[in-house]
Amino acid sequence: MLVIIFNYKELVAVHMADVLVSPAVGGVFWIVSAYLTAKSSAVLKKSDDTGKTALMGVLAAFVFASQMINFSIPGTGSSGHIGGGLLLSIFLGPERAFLSMVSILAVQALFFADGGLLALGCNIFNMGFFPCFIAYPFIYKKLSEKIGGTKGIFWGSLIASIAGLTMGAFFVVLQTAFSGITSLPVNIFLLLMLPIHFAIGAVEGFATAMVVIYVYSKMPGVLTESETESRHKEMKRAVAVFALLALVTGGLFAWYASSSPDGLEWSIEGVAGSAELEAPRSLLHSFSALIQERFAPLPDYAFKNKATSENMGTTVSGLVGSIITLTLALALGMFFRKRNGRP
Amino acid sequence: MRLKDLYRTEIYDERSGTSFSPIVLLAVTLVYTVAVVSFDRYQTFRMLPLAAYPIFMGSFACVSGRDLFRKILTVLPFVIFIGIWNPFFDTTRTEYLGIMISMGWISFFSLILKFLLIVPATLIMVAATGFDGLCRTAASLGLPDVLVTQLFLLQRYIRLLVEETHNIVRARVFRGGKITIANAGNICGPLLLRCLSRSERIHSALMCRGFGGQLYHKYGRENRLSVHDLIFVLAWVLFFSMVRIFDMPIIIGDLIVGCVF
């Protein structure tokens, strides 16, 4: 099972795609992320410390590059990589780490189609806000200070990474649910996402701890001088407001999802034993039964004789219309390119 | 994503660019994305005419279709993973193109179609405007200086660090060492230490050149629009609205089919 989880982790990584987000949800999270970005930038501007500008750029590139290395996990046949947001927070402090994450996610969305323009706000919130402003200051810092030394770094990284990733995954479910794109019931989606991200978080936390401990053993000074900005009142207030909002929305959503499995926009009518779906224990049973029984590529696949001619007429018209429009677009593009003096 | 995939940025390298302002391309692509996403989850062929935008821009800006296809393939699995559940949970039957099919398969098809419409459009937009152009436009629109500088630096150092990471991994594999999670510190740690010292060198070099927190100059030309730009925006927004409001494929198809037969 673990092998499957980790081999497919790239598929379920918390990057939201444009197609999974409705304009309203995408817009709301764009505004939230833009606000957090503006606040973080304002805090950095006030601190007027350009000494870490180069460090931010190089460390973001480091996170980008190091996430390409897949460390194998002995005995499982699967792999994992270091966690970006938490590592950046440890070395740069929350505000700089958040802005670095924004830059990484923007490059991923624009260059690698990982995410998208509309979903960028969601991705920044899920992968930037939680690790940098929640997991780092409230979990990593507290734990590493309390336990101290390499043990503190280890437990802090592990737990903060798990917490950050799980919260992000929860918000992926929430954003997809509010967008109403998939028919996947919320509770099943949660059941799919949370355990997987818990496991991925543990691996990322472990890898991050190894790297931070290595650097700590060679250059202990780097970690102690890292963050100074998080004490800023303004930023603290903004973070507190969003954390509270996230908590309330998440809480209401979880309550709603659990109290009415058919809630939001989904209908699981026709799914084998909808009553069974309400209890978490029988959920897995009905889920596996569902896959076994219902895995038919095209249920009731058959051509209807009646009204076929009428429908086929509409289909032909639709296809002809589409092909003509698209051919015209291609021809126009080539025409204007030639007019622009290019081959 | 594999290490070597990062080098697959060919479509941005030999960018011939377009005569349109980056801000115009950014705005039209955003409107286009919203137009595609705003279609109902069971709509399929109705949104197909919207593909005219990426096809037009792709052929206009000479973007290689093969490279686009390769990039799209790397991200397709995630959307399939999310969408493939629709047929299981949305089993209401309906007639579609003369076939009895469950609504879930229609919404799955719709999701994939939306993905295939949006992703190429974004990639073509970046290929046509260039990273530099986009960052300058974003800066002129009010993106904080610190973030713009960060984006410029990140873009410059990604390749360098990927190359270094690649060398470390190769060296370790050649010596017969394993890349396991327990060795994460020994593999990434030295690289991180080198990054820290590199950033100090970069900072000193920047300071020597009079760095004051901003890596670029604002020319004030970024937001200047020509008549061509305005016509481009208006034409596309009009087209997107028409596709959104009317069933264009049927209207054009009926017209042609009616004329021919």
Question: For B230-255, what is the mean pLDDT?
Answer: 87
Read off φ and ψ for residue B192, nearest 5 degrees.
-65, -40
Residue A220 has pLDDT above 90, yes or no: no
Look at A301 and B101 and tell me if their CB atoms are within 8 Å: yes
Provide the pLDDT for residue B213. 67
Domain spans, chain B: 1-140+223-261, 142-222
Residue A7 has pLDDT above 50, yes or no: no
Chain A nearest-CA distance from B175, in A, is 17
Q: For residue A282, is it within any domain? A: no
Chain B nearest-CA distance from A142, in A, is 23
Contacts of B104 in chain A (CB under 8 A): 183
Q: For residue A122, is it within any domain? A: yes
Look at A18 and B146 and tell me if their CB atoms are within 8 Å: no
- Residue B186 pLDDT level (bands cut at 50, 70, 90): confident
Closest chain A residue to B127, measured at CA: A111
Contacts of A302 in chain B (CB under 8 A): 99-100
Look at A340 and B19 and tell me if their CB atoms are within 8 Å: yes
Look at B118 and A18 and tell me if their CB atoms are within 8 Å: yes
Question: For A105-131, what is the mean pLDDT?
Answer: 88
Look at B181 and A207 and tell me if their CB atoms are within 8 Å: yes
Number of structural domains (chain A) is 2
Residues forming beta bridges with residue A80, ordered by sequence position? A71
Specify burial of residue A4 (Cβ count, 10 A radius: 0-12, 13-18, 19+): exposed
Q: For residue A91, is it within any domain? A: yes
Q: How many CB atoms lie within 10 A of CB B230?
A: 11
Same domain, A340 and A231: no
Question: For A104-115, what is the mean pLDDT?
Answer: 83
| Cβ atoms of residues B58 and B70 within 8 Å | no
- pTM for this structure? 0.78
Size of interface A-B (CB pairs under 8 A): 395
pLDDT, tens digit, 9 for 90 and up, residues A256-271: 655 544 333 333 333 3
Chain B nearest-CA distance from A240, in A, is 22
Distance CA A306, CA A251 (A): 50
Distance CA A135, CA A162 (A): 9
Contacts of A290 in chain B (CB under 8 A): 88
CA distances from B29 to A121, A238, B2, B48, B54 (A): 16, 31, 28, 16, 9
Residue B194 has pLDDT above 60, yes or no: yes
Provide the pLDDT for residue A331. 77
Look at A113 and B122 and tell me if their CB atoms are within 8 Å: yes
Which range of A11-25, A86-100, B58-72, B165-179 scores highest in mean pLDDT? It is A86-100
Distance CA A242, CA B121 (A): 32
Mutate to test the interface with B, among A69, A192, A311 (most CBs of B within 10 A): A69
Range(s) of the domain holding residue A321: 309-343
Mutate to test the interface with A, among B199, B247, B254 (most CBs of A within 10 A): B199
Chain A nearest-CA distance from B53, in A, is 7
Same domain, A111 and A240: yes
Provide the pLDDT for residue A139. 93
Q: For residue A335, is it within any domain? A: yes
Same domain, A237 and A319: no
Provide the pLDDT for residue A317. 66
Distance CA A165, CA A143 (A): 17
Same domain, A190 and A321: no
Question: For A151-162, what is the mean pLDDT?
Answer: 93
Look at B89 and A268 and tell me if their CB atoms are within 8 Å: yes
Residue where a domain terminates, one of A233, A259, A285: A259
Mean pLDDT over each residue of chain B, to the nearest integer: 81
Residue A100 has pLDDT above 50, yes or no: yes
Question: For A224-234, what is the mean pLDDT?
Answer: 55
pLDDT, tens digit, 9 for 90 and up, residues B86-141: 888 877 777 777 777 888 888 888 889 999 999 899 888 888 887 778 888 888 88
- Residue B218 pLDDT level (bands cut at 50, 70, 90): low
> Of A242-251, A301-310, A325-334, which gets the smallest average pLDDT?
A301-310
Question: What is the residue type of A332?
Answer: L
Look at B93 and A300 and tell me if their CB atoms are within 8 Å: yes
Provide the pLDDT for residue A14. 61
- Residue A226 pLDDT level (bands cut at 50, 70, 90): low
Look at B83 and A182 and tell me if their CB atoms are within 8 Å: yes
> Of A181-190, A278-287, B21-30, which gets the smallest average pLDDT?
A278-287
Report the percent of chain A where pLDDT is more than 90. Answer: 22
Taken in order A231, A232, A235, A240, the sign of the CA dihedral is positive
Provide the pLDDT for residue A13. 54
- Residue A308 pLDDT level (bands cut at 50, 70, 90): very low
| Cβ atoms of residues A90 and A55 within 8 Å | no
Contacts of A74 in chain B (CB under 8 A): 180-182
Same domain, A100 and A16: yes
| Three-class SS of chain A | CHHHHHHCHHHHCCCCCHHHCCHHHHHHHHHHHHHHHHHHHHHHHHHCCHHHHHHHHHHHHHHHHHCCCCEEECCCCEEECCCHHHHHHHHHCHHHHHHHHHHHHHHHHHHCCCCCCCCHHHHHHHHHHHHHHHHHHHHHHHHHHHHCHHHHHHHHHHHHHHHHHHHHHHHHHHHHHHHCCCCCCHHHHHHHHHHHHHHHHHHHHHHHHHHHHHHHHHCHHHHHCCCCHHHCHHHHHHHHHHHHHHHHHHHHHHHHHHHCCCCCCCCCCCCCCCCHHHCHHHHHHHHHHHHHHHCCCCCCCCECCCCHHHHHHHHHHHHHHHHHHHHHHHHHHHHHHHHCCCC
Whether ipTM exceeds 0.90:
no
Residue B200 has pLDDT above 90, yes or no: no
Residue A176 has pLDDT above 80, yes or no: yes
Question: For B165-192, what is the mean pLDDT?
Answer: 84
A254: nearest Cα among A183, A182, A194, A165: A194
Mutate to test the interface with A, among B34, B68, B150 (most CBs of A within 10 A): B150
Same domain, A255 and A315: no
- Residue A167 pLDDT level (bands cut at 50, 70, 90): very high
Same domain, A156 and A12: yes
The number of residues in chain A equals 343
Same domain, A137 and A227: yes
Question: For A51-63, what is the mean pLDDT?
Answer: 85
Look at A53 and B253 and tell me if their CB atoms are within 8 Å: no
Q: What is the CATH number of the domain that holds A29?
A: 1.10.1760.20
CA distance from start to end of chain A: 53
Provide the pLDDT for residue A341. 61
In this complex, the residue of A73, A182, A318 whose CB is nearest that of residue B249 is: A318
Mutate to test the interface with B, among A102, A111, A265 (most CBs of B within 10 A): A111
| Cβ atoms of residues A109 and A115 within 8 Å | yes
Which range of A205-209, A231-235, B80-84 scores highest in mean pLDDT? It is A205-209
Read off φ and ψ for residue B40, nearest 5 degrees.
-55, 150
Mean pLDDT over each residue of chain A, to the nearest integer: 73
Question: What is the residue type of A200?
Answer: I
Q: For residue A205, is it within any domain? A: yes
In this complex, the residue of B83, B165, B186 whose CB is nearest that of residue A65 is: B165
Map tokens 């070597």 to a residue: B4
Residue B177 has pLDDT above 60, yes or no: yes
- Residue A318 pLDDT level (bands cut at 50, 70, 90): low
Map tokens 């990322």 to a residue: A204
- Residue A232 pLDDT level (bands cut at 50, 70, 90): low
